[in-house]
Amino acid sequence: QKEVEQNSGPLSVPEGAIASLNCTYSDRVSQSFFWYRQYSGKSPELIMSIYSNGDKEDGRFTAQLNKASQYVSLLIRDSQPSDSATYLCAVKSGGSNYKLTFGKGTLLTVNP
Amino acid sequence: DAEITQSPRHKITETGRQVTLACHQTWNHNNMFWYRQDLGHGLRLIHYSYGVQDTNKGEVSDGYSVSRSNTEDLPLTLESAASSQTSVYFCASSGPGGRDGELFFGEGSRLTVL
């Protein structure tokens, strides 16, 4: 059973701070990693993807990957109240016919 | 605009009844998925399909079935609903043209089994 682990939170940060979300995975051959954001009562949406070791930046979001440690993280800089949501880590298996295994998600609250 | 729709959005049923949740997408995606989401468990894969006539079991498939007779639809059937199947169900699809690893989710169907 491939597992994806996340701290459930809640993680609470003040507005303007950096929020750090963490994820570990069990399948060593996994190559593709994703972060989805889910607002309360809504469906998940993809916000970041990362495939290589190191950092990938997109606006206020930075994804970090360390395959040796089987660890993925998401940093949100200058956190805003609108960033308050559950963040789901997902790991891809398969090629063009793929499926995603999701972690349980971390609830982030950004306080004004 | 292309979209993915689920129906019904809310349903209350009784233990032992058969229930079907509909999922329809207009992206012409080959890959379609059903997940359930429960507090403390996150999103768990129930069934998935890579194309017409193809179906596969996910990690929590017991008590559920799907069929894929065309590209657009993947209905999820609960043969005999149980209280443990009370959950929010999400249908999703993926295919060429989207970002790698991007699933497009429907709005969800909240099912309550009494």
pLDDT per residue as tens digits for the range A37-83:
999 999 999 999 999 999 999 999 999 999 999 999 999 999 999 99
A42–chain B Cβ distance below 8 A for any pair: yes
pLDDT surpassing 90 at residue B100: no
> Of residues B42 and A57, which shows the higher confidence score?
A57
pLDDT surpassing 90 at residue B85: yes
pLDDT surpassing 80 at residue B77: yes
**Closest Cα in chain B, distance from residue A6 (Å):** 10
A35–chain B Cβ distance below 8 A for any pair: no
Mean pLDDT score across all residues of chain B: 94
Q: How many CB atoms lie within 10 A of CB B24?
A: 18
Nearest-angstrom CA–CA distance, A107 and B56: 31
Q: What is the mean pLDDT of residues B52-72?
A: 96
Convert A90-110 to b/e letters by CB count within 10 Å (16 or more is b): bbbeeeeebbbbbbbbbbbeb
Report pLDDT for A1: 66
pLDDT surpassing 90 at residue A99: no
Report pLDDT for B94: 92
pLDDT surpassing 80 at residue B59: yes
- Say if CB A35 and CB A90 are below 8 A apart: yes
- Beta-carbon separation of B42 and A42 below 8 A: no
Instruction: Encode pLDDT of A2-39 as tens digits.
Output: 799 998 789 999 999 999 999 999 988 888 999 999 99
pLDDT surpassing 90 at residue B95: no
Which residues of B are less than 8 Å from A100 in CB distance?
33, 101, 103
pLDDT surpassing 80 at residue B31: yes
Give, in order, the Cα–Cα distances in Å from B58 to each of A21, A97, A101, A111, B63.
27, 14, 10, 38, 12
Q: Which of B57, B107, B109, B114 is nearest to B84 (CA)?
A: B114
Instruction: Give the percent of chain B with pLDDT over 70.
Output: 97
B20: pLDDT confidence band, cut at 50, 70 and 90?
A: very high
**Closest Cα in chain B, distance from residue A83 (Å):** 19
- Beta-carbon separation of B103 and A92 below 8 A: no
- Beta-carbon separation of B103 and A88 below 8 A: no
SS3 B83: helix
Nearest-angstrom CA–CA distance, B61 and B47: 6
B6–chain A Cβ distance below 8 A for any pair: no
